[in-house]
């Protein structure tokens, strides 16, 4: 029996990429995630429930800051050289994000250098790196003369001994019911047998070629849309008390429609949907949402017009009524950016998870949402999901990465 391919997940979040790699046959060594909230979700599902990681004794099973791990466990990391197949993950992306205000001085951008230092210390055979689309855009004022961070990272990884290729990929093309374009970078160590620039570049063509067979085996297609993903989760199906929030009500399952929902609901026995807690909208908000839905039947999946904002005195920058028969726009970490396509409400955590292709057995931990000053400190459930790599894409990547190391 061949030896399991191993990886370390950096900036692991709630475990979207790790779940995809688990489903494609990889074995995790450990994961590094700074947020206690996101780590709780990863721990509950993948460490405890699935026993996916062969966690080393020297590293406590808890949330960690990457720089503290690099400082406190440098000897242990150096001993992993030659023993780790892959380092996966991507640093937090807020400083590069096109959804927010791009800020080249955002301190989180420095975590790119921590990522590179980790790679240089452990020297895995291959690298899988993900970041936002804005990562490829030029900054005007940085010291490196406005070069895109993607170019700088590529150069540093090449100098560290890797053949590297980066490319923008839309996860929506891979069966995810969401238009979500991200920068994906793959690298392979130059001193490996048969390593070459052509081989690392073949990752993207193989990924594209393989998706049809992969999706067909699951009964899926590339065109999965929003109603394919969440039309069994209507509020009108009925309500029950939310198990982890007794003062709220949760939705129950409606009739299963289509293979995407079948895949998401596999193994589920309960009628109450996990993390499907409905918000307590006031009647004013419900009426406003109803009016917006009526007035935007011809223009969905776009921010509402200035006229509609003025009409309903909406100060919010983004309000997008969703389109049932199209893929969702890229989910942000702010659930009140979207109005459900049929019901006058925002999406629930579970609907967010469905759109990101997390199966329903994957249980999210911590607060549902947060606000004010806590936004920069806490990572509630919506944020965990909004920041994640869709497991369905992670699984497809995991399969091609296995080919890359074995070819």
Average predicted confidence (pLDDT) for the chain: 92
Give yes or no: residues 38 and 113 share one domain.
yes
- Does 360 score more than 70 pLDDT? yes
Decide if 382 is inside a domain. Answer: no
Give yes or no: residues 179 and 201 share one domain.
yes
- Does 16 score more than 90 pLDDT? yes
Decide if 284 is inside a domain. Answer: yes
Q: Please compute, for residue 177, the number of CA atoms within 13 A of its CA located in the half-sphere on the CB side.
A: 26
C-alpha–C-alpha distance, residues 202 and 403, integer Å: 10
- The active-site residue, picked from 12, 14, 88, 93, is 93
Rounded to a whole number of angstroms, the distance between the first and last alpha carbons of the chain is 17
Give yes or no: residues 29 and 57 share one domain.
yes
What is the pLDDT, as a whole number, of residue 95?
Answer: 47
- Does 103 score more than 80 pLDDT? no
Q: Tell me the pLDDT tens digit for each residue of 286-321.
A: 999 999 999 999 999 999 999 999 999 999 999 999
- Does 338 score more than 90 pLDDT? yes
Give yes or no: residues 238 and 175 share one domain.
no
- Among the residue ranges 83-97, 349-363, 377-391, the one predicted with the least confidence is 83-97
**CATH number of the domain within which 252 lies:** 3.90.120
Q: Tell me the pLDDT tens digit for each residue of 179-227.
A: 999 999 999 999 999 999 999 999 999 999 999 999 999 999 999 999 9
What is the pLDDT, as a whole number, of residue 150?
Answer: 85
What is the pLDDT, as a whole number, of residue 133?
Answer: 85
C-alpha–C-alpha distance, residues 388 and 14, integer Å: 7
How many domains does the chain fold into? 2
Residue carrying structure tokens 């790119």: 112
93 as an active site residue: the answer is yes
Give yes or no: residues 110 and 236 share one domain.
no
Give yes or no: residues 182 and 277 share one domain.
no
Domain that residue 356 falls in: 226-375
Alpha carbon distances (Å) from 224 to 259, 263, 350, 371: 10, 12, 17, 32
Decide if 383 is inside a domain. Answer: no
Give yes or no: residues 241 and 341 share one domain.
yes
What is the pLDDT, as a whole number, of residue 1?
Answer: 34
Give yes or no: residues 102 and 180 share one domain.
yes
Give yes or no: residues 119 and 144 share one domain.
yes
Decide if 159 is inside a domain. Answer: yes
Q: ∠ CA(244), CA(248), CA(250), 5° rounding?
A: 80
pLDDT-above-90 percentage for the chain: 84
Q: Tell me the pLDDT tens digit for each residue of 232-274.
A: 999 999 999 999 999 999 999 999 999 999 999 999 999 999 9
Decide if 384 is inside a domain. Answer: no
- Give the distance from CA 185 to its chain's centroid: 15
Give yes or no: residues 140 and 42 share one domain.
yes
Give yes or no: residues 332 and 396 share one domain.
no
What is the pLDDT, as a whole number, of residue 94?
Answer: 52
What is the pLDDT, as a whole number, of residue 140?
Answer: 54
**CATH number of the domain within which 177 lies:** 3.40.50.150
Specify the higher pLDDT residue, 198 or 113.
Answer: 198
Decide if 1 is inside a domain. Answer: no
Give yes or no: residues 262 and 341 share one domain.
yes
Decide if 191 is inside a domain. Answer: yes
Structure tokens given for 276: 């499907």
Decide if 75 is inside a domain. Answer: yes
Decide: helix, strand or coil at residue 355. Answer: helix
C-alpha–C-alpha distance, residues 164 and 166, integer Å: 7
């Amino acid at each position: 029996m061949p030896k399991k391919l191993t990886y370390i997940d950096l900036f692991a979040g709630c475990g979207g990429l790790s779940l995809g790699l688990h489903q494609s046959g990889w074995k995790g060594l450990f994961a590094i995630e700074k947020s206690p909230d996101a780590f709780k979700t990863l721990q509950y599902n993948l460490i405890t429930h699935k026993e996916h990681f062969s966690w080393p004794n020297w590293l406590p099973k808890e949330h960690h800051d990457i720089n503290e791990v690099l400082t406190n466990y440098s000897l242990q990391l150096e001993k992993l050289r030659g023993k780790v197949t892959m380092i996966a993950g991507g640093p937090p992306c807020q400083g590069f994000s096109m959804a927010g205000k791009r800020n080249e001085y955002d301190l989180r951008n420095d975590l790119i250098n921590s990522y590179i230092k980790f790679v240089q210390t452990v020297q895995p055979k291959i690298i899988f790196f993900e970041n936002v689309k804005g990562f490829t855009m030029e900054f005007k004022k940085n010291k490196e003369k406005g070069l895109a961070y993607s170019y700088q990272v590529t150069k540093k990884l090449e100098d560290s001994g890797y053949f590297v290729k980066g490319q923008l990929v839309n996860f929506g093309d891979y069966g995810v019911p969401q238009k979500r374009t991200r920068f994906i970078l793959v690298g392979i160590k130059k001193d490996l047998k048969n390593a070459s620039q052509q081989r690392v570049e073949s990752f993207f063509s193989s990924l594209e070629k393989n998706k049809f067979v992969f999706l067909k085996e699951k009964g899926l297609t590339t065109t999965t849309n929003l109603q394919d993903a969440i039309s069994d989760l209507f509020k009108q199906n009925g309500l029950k008390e939310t198990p982890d929030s007794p003062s709220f009500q949760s939705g129950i399952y409606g009739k299963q429609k289509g293979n995407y929902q079948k895949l998401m609901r596999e193994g589920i026995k309960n009628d109450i949907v996990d993390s499907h807690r409905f918000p307590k909208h006031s009647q004013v908000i419900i009426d406003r949402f109803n009016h917006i839905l009526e007035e935007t039947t011809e223009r969905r999946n776009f921010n509402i017009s200035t006229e509609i904002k003025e009409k309903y005195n909406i100060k919010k920058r983004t309000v997008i009524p969703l389109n049932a028969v199209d893929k969702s726009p890229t989910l942000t970490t702010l659930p009140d950016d979207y109005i459900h396509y049929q019901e006058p409400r925002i999406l629930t955590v579970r609907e967010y998870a469905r759109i990101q292709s997390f199966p329903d057995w994957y249980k999210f931990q911590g607060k549902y949402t947060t606000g004010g000053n806590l936004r920069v400190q806490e990572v509630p459930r919506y944020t965990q999901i909004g920041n994640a790599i869709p497991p369905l894409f992670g699984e497809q990547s995991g399969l091609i990465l296995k080919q890359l190391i074995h070819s």
